[in-house]
Structure formats: structure tokens, C-alpha cells
């Protein structure tokens, strides 16, 4: 039997563009055109100045681990457990919730440098995840 795929996120007018960016390999961050404030997850209005005008920047993918939680239950099909769910502080300044991979549960530390890796499901669905930083920017 084929592996079950992870549940797909709802993709609407407000966030469909973000998933399109992910499909192209980019970790996008929405940016207010009026005041340049970055925001994630995507939403129509700037929380700082209420502007509806926005564009986006492509993040470097580098950041530090701000917080994490390890999920053992409940288990949904399409995911490998335990899941290390992390809050990353991107170097652009925004926080991003993701999953830490290529790292054992025991090795996770607050403040550790992490980098984005674009995960791809067997069905081609792409989703940004993070792993311990391999580069020299620690
Ligand atoms: Zn704004």
C-alpha cells in the first residue's frame, strides 16, 4: 500500500501564493508595502499599520531555535514520530513554526543555529523544514 501523505494545508487567496513560493523552493515572508514590517503566517492586513498592500521577501533560511516541543501523540498518517516542532527566529526577524529534522530529540537546544531544508513529499508537495545548521555561521 502506498504511504499515506500528510494532510495538505488549506490554500486560499491569502496564503496560496506562499505555498507556490515553497513549491519553487523559497521560504517566503510577507512584507507590508507601506511600513516594511514582515509577517508570517500570511494575512491580508498589516497588524502594524493596517495597510492591505504587501509583497514578500525570500528568507535566507537561516535562523536560531527559539522554542520547541516534541510530539509523540496523537499520530497522524504521513508524519514520522516523534515530531520536533520548532519556533525559529529567522535572521530576517520573523518567527516561523516548522519541524526540525536530521536531529535527535536529545540534541535539540534552545538557541541552536538552524537552516531551512525544503522537504518534498513523495507526491511532490514541498514544505520548508529546518535542520541543525551545517555552515560556519554558528
Ligand atoms: Zn504596515
Segment (H or E) for 16: helix 16-23
Residue 54: its pLDDT value, please? 97
Distance in Å, CA 33 to ligand 1 centroid: 7
Note the pTM of the prediction, 2 decimals.
Answer: 0.88
> What is the domain partition of the chain in residue ranges?
13-58, 59-138
Question: Coil, helix or strand for 88?
Answer: strand
Q: Split the chain (138 residues) into runs of 10 and give each run's mean pLDDT.
A: 68 91 97 97 95 97 97 83 94 95 94 96 93 74
Residue 44: its pLDDT value, please? 94
Distance in Å, CA 30 to ligand 1 centroid: 11
The CATH number of 59-138, from 2.40.50.840, 2.30.31.70, 3.40.50.300, 2.60.40.3470, is 2.40.50.840
Distance in Å, CA 57 to ligand 1 centroid: 14
Residue 83: its pLDDT value, please? 92
112-116, Cβ contacts within 8 angstroms, sequence gap of 24 or more: 112/64, 112/65, 113/62, 113/63, 113/64, 113/65, 113/137, 113/138, 114/62, 114/63, 114/64, 114/65, 114/86, 114/88, 115/61, 115/62, 115/63, 116/27, 116/59, 116/61, 116/62, 116/63
Neighbours of ion ligand 1 (CB under 5 A): 32, 34-35, 37, 46, 48-49, 51
Distance in Å, CA 72 to ligand 1 centroid: 38
Question: Coil, helix or strand for 19?
Answer: helix
Distance in Å, CA 12 to ligand 1 centroid: 22
Amino acid at each position: 500500500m502506498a504511504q499515506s501523505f500528510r494532510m495538505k494545508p488549506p490554500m486560499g487567496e491569502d496564503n496560496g501564493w506562499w505555498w507556490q513560493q515553497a513549491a519553487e523552493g523559497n521560504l517566503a515572508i510577507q512584507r507590508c508595502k507601506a511600513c516594511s514590517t514582515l509577517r508570517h503566517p500570511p494575512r491580508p492586513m498589516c497588524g502594524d499599520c493596517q495597510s492591505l498592500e504587501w509583497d514578500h521577501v525570500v528568507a535566507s533560511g537561516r535562523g536560531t531555535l527559539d522554542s520547541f516541543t516534541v510530539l509523540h501523540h496523537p499520530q497522524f498518517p504521513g508524519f514520522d514520530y516523534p515530531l520536533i516542532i520548532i519556533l525559529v527566529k529567522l535572521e530576517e526577524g520573523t518567527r516561523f513554526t516548522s519541524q526540525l529534522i536530521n536531529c535527535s530529540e536529545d540534541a535539540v537546544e534552545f538557541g541552536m543555529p538552524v537552516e531551512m531544508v525544503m522537504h518534498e513529499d513523495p507526491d511532490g508537495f514541498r514544505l520548508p523544514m529546518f535542520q541543525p545548521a551545517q555552515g560556519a555561521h554558528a
